[in-house]
Amino acid sequence: MLGVVQDPALGHRIRQGIADDIRGADPGGCLQGELGDAANAGADHDQAPATRGAVNHGTSWAVRLSARCFRENRRVTPPTPTTTGAAKSRLPTIGGVGKVVVDQLLRCHHQPQPDGHQHATRLVTAGGAVANMTGNVAAHGFRSILAGWAGADDGSQAVLAQLAGLGVELRVVRRGRAPLATVLAWGGDRSMLVDQGDLRGLAADVSRGWLEGLDVVHINGYDLLDYGWPEVMFGVVELAREQGIAVSVDTPSAARMQAQGVESYRASLARVAPDVLFANAAEAATLGLSTRRPPPEWAGLAIVHAGIAPTAVCSRDLVESFAVRGVVSNPETTGCGDAFAAGFLTAWAQGHELGEAVGRGHAWAAEIAAVVGAQPGGPPA
């Protein structure tokens, strides 16, 4: 039987005190070493829980569900005014606010080497966590809204048309030249080269209309970095809170957080106080998130994925892991973490149990792992 949690305060963000560092004391835990092992294995940003077999060689995540939560068999409900039954009577609207990146994916036969030469398959699509997440939501028949910023360049025009073709509703300001991410992908691994462009988001661009109709708004954690536009995104979060909209955040790479300073970035996350926080194993370890303890007081749910190892879900009263099913052979992992977030958020906002939400996330991630690129409908990988 799935152990789940009912906590009326969760909808207004859980407040319990900062979780102990992952290397701290563990009265009843069993995972101190495993999370570090998963991080050291090189789990990369956006790796899907269903796809990262190339680097997670047998990582064990036997997360223990607390006896109290198991006995009470309670459930977590999303921080929306609907009850579980009411939520399931309609499909939720999931959106994201951020910038639209132009992704150029080069699928290689093997790892690029200095002075090497090989043929590659090229695909240009919309990219960035927000575009990838909303594209997946729309492709699965849910109402999906992307608000924010896109370049005024031809490449941006093309990828916006792709998103609209998937059914994503666009509420964007266009200016400047969008970021261009060149993704080199091979054998389940990847490397990214990013031209940041000159696209900037301004606080004056943000309006209440951007969030109209949303049940959940998703934010790319990169936009909260100092080199992004954190103050603008804080304004988006404030509007979401005023309208009773849940907020989710996908953390940036461990390297980026370390470059800025982990304490500095953690302070930005605390200011956002996300209802759902997504991180891979390396990112979670960097932030000091534990897969066997509640998340910090500023987060409602912490979702930690680690390739083909089980996905950990931590809330105030629940710590549980969910096994990955349907692992894809030779995955192309670009955007899989965003697809997982899309699947999880749609089910969570509908009021499904956490195991069902994680399972949908795994299934949607596996679909993206089987195609080239981060958007649904790409050519087979």
Structure tokens at 16: 């319990």
Please compute the mean of the pLDDT values over residues 86-105 and round it to a whole number. Answer: 86
Q: Which residue has the tokens 């290397």?
A: 23
**Segments of the chain assigned E as strands:** 93-99, 101-108, 120-127, 143-150, 169-174, 180-186, 189-195, 216-220, 246-250, 276-280, 301-306, 309-314, 319-322
pLDDT tens-digit readout, 251-260: 999 999 999 9
d(CA 20, CA 37): 18
pLDDT tens-digit readout, 144-157: 999 999 999 999 99
Q: In this model, does residue 36 exceed pLDDT 70?
A: no
DSSP codes, 247-279? EEEE---HHHHHHH-HHHHHHHHHHH--SEEEE
Please compute the mean of the pLDDT values over residues 312-337 and round it to a whole number. Answer: 86
- Pseudo-torsion of CA 37, 40, 41, 42, nearest 10°? 140
Instruction: Please give the DSSP secondary-structure letter assigned to residue 380.
Output: B
Q: Is 287 exposed, middle or buried (0-12, 13-18, 19+ CB in 10 A)?
A: buried
Lowest mean pLDDT among 85-99, 110-124, 181-195: 85-99
CA 16 to chain centre: 23
Looking at residue 366, what is its pLDDT? 92
pTM: 0.76
| Bridge partners, 170 (sequence order) | 146
Judge whether 324 and 49 are in contact, CB under 8 Å: yes
Looking at residue 190, what is its pLDDT? 80
Structure tokens at 334: 């670009």
- Name the range with the highest mean pLDDT among 48-52, 63-67, 118-122: 118-122
Please compute the mean of the pLDDT values over residues 18-45 and round it to a whole number. Answer: 34
d(CA 15, CA 315): 11
Looking at residue 88, what is its pLDDT? 54
Q: In this model, does residue 201 exceed pLDDT 60?
A: yes
Q: In this model, does residue 38 exceed pLDDT 70?
A: no
Structure tokens at 356: 């069902």
Please compute the mean of the pLDDT values over residues 160-176 and round it to a whole number. Answer: 97
Where residue 234 falls among pLDDT bands split at 50, 70, 90?
very high
Looking at residue 275, what is its pLDDT? 98
Judge whether 129 and 251 are in contact, CB under 8 Å: no
**Among candidates 104, 160, 112, which has minimal Cα distance to 373?**
104
- 4-31 burial by CB neighbour count: b if 16+ within 10 A, else e? bbebeebbebbebeebbebeeeeeebeb
Q: What is the CATH number of domain 8-369?
A: 3.40.1190.20
Would you say the C-alpha torsion 105, 109, 111, 115 has a positive or negative sign?
A: negative
DSSP-based three-state secondary structure for 223 = helix
Looking at residue 61, what is its pLDDT? 22
CB atoms within 10 A of CB 111: 12
Looking at residue 296, what is its pLDDT? 93
Q: In this model, does residue 247 exceed pLDDT 80?
A: yes
Judge whether 353 and 2 are in contact, CB under 8 Å: yes
What is the residue extent of each domain of the chain?
8-369
Judge whether 327 and 51 are in contact, CB under 8 Å: yes
Residues whose CB falls within 8 Å of the CB of residue 200, separated by 6 or more in sequence, listed in order: 149, 175, 176, 229
